[in-house]
């Protein structure tokens, strides 16, 4: 539609011009003494228009001719700028492809080409970020080549360029450079240096996923499970890991933290710091209870920490793995109450009810038998352990069951049965 309107307008102007020129009888007279020149008005317009057009074209041609040196210089500078950018892209490509020596060489070429531009009096708007990224690429390649001297040199140069950058740009470059440096130190197994660089970052940066992942690795390497646990909990809350990986990681960190406690008071502080969901983790509660007993804590305290696991332990089908069930069972066995304990009858009733509800469960038979032995109910203990030892699949539990039966036989002064039980215990192969 627009093209049609332009054509219509052009034809209208052409028709109007032809009509005016055909009916124009005017003349222009030039008096050049002693001559007189008469020209038609149409010819005069044509001559004036041609002269003006020639002057304009000549002026433009002269301007373009005079501007050729500047344009040539600008073209050469553009070529150098493009070459520096291409060298930086080559450095990134070589780095991703594992050609670290070529990557460092390309990054240094970027710096050299930018220096030529600067010496020629050309200052790029993005010169500082360009130099910073080139130094970071060279440092990254040097780190991969285990050249710590060159890496530190380029890192120092990158930080110097960052300090000269403007406000918003400076902050972004500084954060990225510090995170890179922290990761390099972590690869060097320098956890202390890595943590120092990460602590120097602003709090908002420290809460980013990348920074928290580095903090987690550095804290674990530095042997600081408390800090690592706090960071891992935050990462799990923000779904940085899958649910299975998060549970496994948190469990390992808690176990490390419990293993580093050397007195009962410190262990109780660790237990209080755990969340309710963490206290329900089978390995965590079992390790805490057994550590409590190792540090001289009371059986009642250990049972208190384990009592929330009693119901899920009886679940059918099981909600735990075999390893988890075994670990919790051993923890319960270690803190079973004796006959003089205040909660002896409570636990006896609880265990017997669970065993009667699942009469074929070898684990519950074993636990009930050991509890009866602890509370000196010899006959019931003999019956339950005899049933359990036939169905137990775990060698360590089988050995303990046979040893308990041997002790019960000795208690009855039955040396034949005791010897047979001790012999069966000796036959059980180790785990």
| Residue whose tokens read 């779904």 | 239
- Per DSSP, what are the bridge partners of residue 31? 36
**Which pLDDT score, from 0 to 100, does residue 21 have?**
66
CA distance 224 to 227: 6
**Contact present, 391 and 365 (Cβ < 8 Å):** yes
Average pLDDT, the chain: 85
**Which pLDDT score, from 0 to 100, does residue 105 have?**
94
323 vs 37, residue with greater confidence = 323
44 vs 419, residue with greater confidence = 419
- Per DSSP, what are the bridge partners of residue 37? 30
Q: What is the pTM of this model?
A: 0.72
SS3 state of residue 32: strand
DSSP string across 89-103: HHHHHHHHHT-HHHH
**Which pLDDT score, from 0 to 100, does residue 236 have?**
85
Instruction: Please state which of the ranges 25-39, 181-195, 306-320 shows the lowest mean pLDDT.
Output: 25-39
What's the mean pLDDT in 157-161?
A: 88
**Contact present, 374 and 401 (Cβ < 8 Å):** no
**Which pLDDT score, from 0 to 100, does residue 167 have?**
66
CA distance 39 to 20: 17
With cut-offs at 50, 70 and 90, classify the pLDDT of residue 137.
Answer: very high
**Which pLDDT score, from 0 to 100, does residue 352 have?**
85
| Structural domains of the chain in order of their starting residue, each with its CATH number | 338-431 (1.25.40.10)
What sign does the dihedral 181-183-184-185 (CA atoms) show?
positive
SS3 state of residue 53: helix
With cut-offs at 50, 70 and 90, classify the pLDDT of residue 287.
Answer: very high
The tokens of 427 are what?
Answer: 């036959």
Residue-wise pLDDT for 228-286, tens only, equals: 888 888 888 888 888 888 888 888 999 999 988 888 899 999 999 988 888 989 999 99
For residue 397, which phi and psi values (nearest 5 degrees)?
-70, -40
**Which pLDDT score, from 0 to 100, does residue 43 have?**
75
pLDDT at 121 over 80: no
The tokens of 78 are what?
Answer: 């553009």
308 vs 76, residue with greater confidence = 308
Instruction: Please state which of the ranges 142-146, 293-297, 388-392 shows the lowest mean pLDDT.
Output: 388-392
What's the mean pLDDT in 5-26?
A: 75
CA distance 257 to 272: 13
Question: Per 3-state DSSP, what percentage of the chain is helix, strand, and coil (rounded to 5)?
Answer: 75, 5, 20
With cut-offs at 50, 70 and 90, classify the pLDDT of residue 92.
Answer: very high
Closest C-alpha among 409, 404, 407 to residue 392: 404
With cut-offs at 50, 70 and 90, classify the pLDDT of residue 430.
Answer: low
CB count within 10 Å of CB 89 equals: 12
pLDDT at 372 over 70: yes
**Which pLDDT score, from 0 to 100, does residue 364 have?**
86
Query: What separation in angstroms does the CA of 43 have from each of 354, 401, 424?
Result: 121, 128, 132
Share of the chain above pLDDT 70, in %: 97
**Which pLDDT score, from 0 to 100, does residue 22 have?**
66
């Amino acid at each position: 539609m627009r093209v049609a309107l332009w054509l219509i307008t052009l034809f209208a102007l052409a028709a109007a011009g032809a009509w005016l020129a055909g009916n124009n009888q005017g003349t222009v007279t030039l008096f050049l003494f002693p001559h007189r020149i008469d020209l038609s008005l149409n010819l005069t317009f044509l001559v004036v228009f041609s002269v003006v057009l020639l002057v304009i074209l000549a002026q433009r041609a002269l301007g373009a001719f005079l501007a050729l040196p500047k344009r040539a210089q600008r073209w050469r500078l553009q070529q150098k700028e493009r070459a520096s950018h291409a060298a930086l892209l080559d450095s990134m490509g070589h780095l991703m492809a594992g050609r670290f020596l070529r990557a460092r060489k390309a990054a240094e070429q970027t710096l050299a080409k930018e220096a030529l531009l600067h010496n020629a009096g050309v200052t790029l708007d993005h010169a500082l970020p360009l130099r910073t990224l080139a130094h970071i690429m060279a440092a990254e390649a040097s780190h991969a080549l285990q050249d710590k001297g060159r890496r530190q040199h380029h890192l120092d140069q990158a930080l110097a360029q960052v300090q000269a950058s403007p406000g918003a740009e400076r902050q972004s470059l500084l954060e990225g450079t510090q995170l890179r440096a922290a990761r390099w130190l972590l690869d060097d197994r320098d956890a202390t240096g890595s943590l120092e660089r990460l602590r120097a970052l602003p709090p908002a940066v420290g809460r980013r996923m990348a920074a928290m992942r580095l903090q987690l690795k550095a804290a674990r390497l530095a042997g600081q499970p408390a800090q690592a646990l706090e960071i891992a909990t935050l990462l799990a809350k923000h779904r940085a890991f899958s649910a299975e990986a998060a549970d496994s990681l948190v469990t390992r960190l808690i176990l490390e933290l419990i293993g580093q406690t050397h007195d009962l008071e410190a262990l109780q502080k660790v237990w209080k710091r755990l969340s309710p969901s963490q206290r329900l983790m089978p390995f965590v509660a079992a390790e805490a209870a057994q550590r409590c007993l190792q540090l001289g804590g009371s059986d009642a305290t250990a049972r208190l920490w384990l009592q929330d696991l009693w119901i899920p332990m009886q679940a059918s089908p099981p909600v735990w793995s075999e390893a988890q069930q075994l670990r919790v069972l051993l923890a319960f066995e270690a803190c079973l109450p004796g006959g003089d304990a205040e909660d002896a009858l409570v636990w006896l009733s609880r265990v017997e009810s669970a065993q009667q509800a699942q009469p074929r469960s070898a684990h519950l038979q074993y636990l009930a038998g050991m509890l009866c032995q602890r509370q000196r109910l010899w006959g019931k203990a003999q019956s339950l352990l005899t049933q359990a030892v036939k169905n137990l699949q775990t060698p360590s539990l089988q050995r303990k069951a046979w040893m308990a039966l041997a002790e019960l036989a000795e208690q009855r002064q039955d040396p034949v049965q005791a010897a047979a039980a001790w012999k069966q215990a000796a036959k059980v192969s180790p785990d």
